A = this chain, B = another copy of it.
Amino acid sequence: MHAIGIDIGGTKIAAALVDESGTIIRSDRRPTTASDPRGIEDAVVDMITELSEGEDVVAAGIAAAGFIDAAQSTVYYGPNVNWRHEPLRATLEARLDLPILIENDANAAGWAEFTFGAGRGYTDMVTLTIGTGVGGAIVADNHLFRGGFGCAAELGHLRVVPGGRLCGCGAHGCIEQYGSGRALLRIATELADAGGIGLGLAAARDRKGKLTGKDVGRLIQEGDNGALAALRQLGGSLGQACSSLAAVLDPQIFVFGGGVAAAGELLLEPIRAAYLENLPARGFHPEAEFAIAQLVNDAGVVGAADLARKHVFAQ
């Protein structure tokens, strides 16, 4: 039996009809207007209606950035769409004759990775999504971890430097400030300013006036020493965070997704080294695996669909 997954991002809504093996049967995509929550609702209703036509659909899962309540009905707060205590589930169920589940987008993506991607065969996994920010998901004993208020796992806001860089969350020193795509760009820009090893970065910056994540990604692929130095610094910070997460959560595997994870083993190598260097009780504590996520762009919709389907059958 099929389910529908919807992923509401900052610039587009992705939708897909997904079967039980995580395969996408059909998909759709529309632009979003963040300032028009009602227009987003209409688009979601339309897309679900169209993808359902002639299909046996049991549920739809909606993935969105932000804090979702523990009952998975209400969006407390969304950074992309201007929702504040929005009863999205009730609103959508009133317009569609279908069970609806609301899920945080990083959790949905993490669940897809656990069920159909790099996490298959494990029981306990931590996913870190290295995009503009750092998102996270925890699977413990085969269950997605949501937290007591539905806000887990905001892994990007683990504090790694007391009194460190101010974060968009209002606190200081979060790993998001040292391990995200935005942090990579900041480090790369600092290296471009510094000259020396950063000359390749400086050349890319000077062609367009400023560096982009795409430039840095391309230079990493080309083996530019400055871009590789920036990536190693990022990986070192992430690996140190992983050693703390190992103490708290003790996963069997850490999976890295998001745009920066395209660097593959070049990213995993410094992460692994810093994790081992800082692992509490090294030698006694079994060591986790490190892998790159396998479901790249589709993780959100596939995970949302699967969670919605499983939620229906769990009741």
Is A174 interfacial (CB 8 A cutoff)? yes
Chain B residues lying within 8 Å of A132, measured Cβ to Cβ, are 195
Q: How many residues of A contact B (CB 8 A)?
A: 86
Q: When each residue 173-196 of chain A gets 1 if its CB lies under 8 Å from chain B and 0 otherwise, what string results?
A: 010000000000001001100111
Chain B residues lying within 8 Å of A77, measured Cβ to Cβ, are 281, 284
Is A7 interfacial (CB 8 A cutoff)? no
Q: Shortest beta-carbon distance, A12 to chain B, in Å?
A: 17
Q: When each residue 140-170 of chain A gets 1 if its CB lies under 8 Å from chain B and 0 otherwise, what string results?
A: 1101011111111111111111110011111
By the criterion CB–CB under 8 Å, are B174 and A280 in contact?
A: yes
With contact pairs A76-B284, A166-B194, A273-B273 given, residues A279 and B171 touching in the complex (Cβ less than 8 Å): yes
Copies in the complex: 4
By the criterion CB–CB under 8 Å, are A153 and B194 in contact?
A: no
Name which residue of chain B comes closest to A236, CB basis. B277
Per the bound structure, the CA–CA distance linking A195 and B191 in Å amounts to 24
Is A218 interfacial (CB 8 A cutoff)? no
Is A133 interfacial (CB 8 A cutoff)? yes
Q: Shortest beta-carbon distance, A129 to chain B, in Å?
A: 15
Chain B residues lying within 8 Å of A288, measured Cβ to Cβ, are 148
**Which of B163, B171, B250 has a CB less than 8 Å from the CB of A153?**
B250
Chain B residues lying within 8 Å of A284, measured Cβ to Cβ, are 67, 76-77, 197, 225
Chain B residues lying within 8 Å of A278, measured Cβ to Cβ, are 159, 171-172
Q: Shortest beta-carbon distance, A161 to chain B, in Å?
A: 6
**Which of B148, B156, B223, B233 has a CB less than 8 Å from the CB of A122?**
B148
By the criterion CB–CB under 8 Å, are B252 and A79 in contact?
A: no
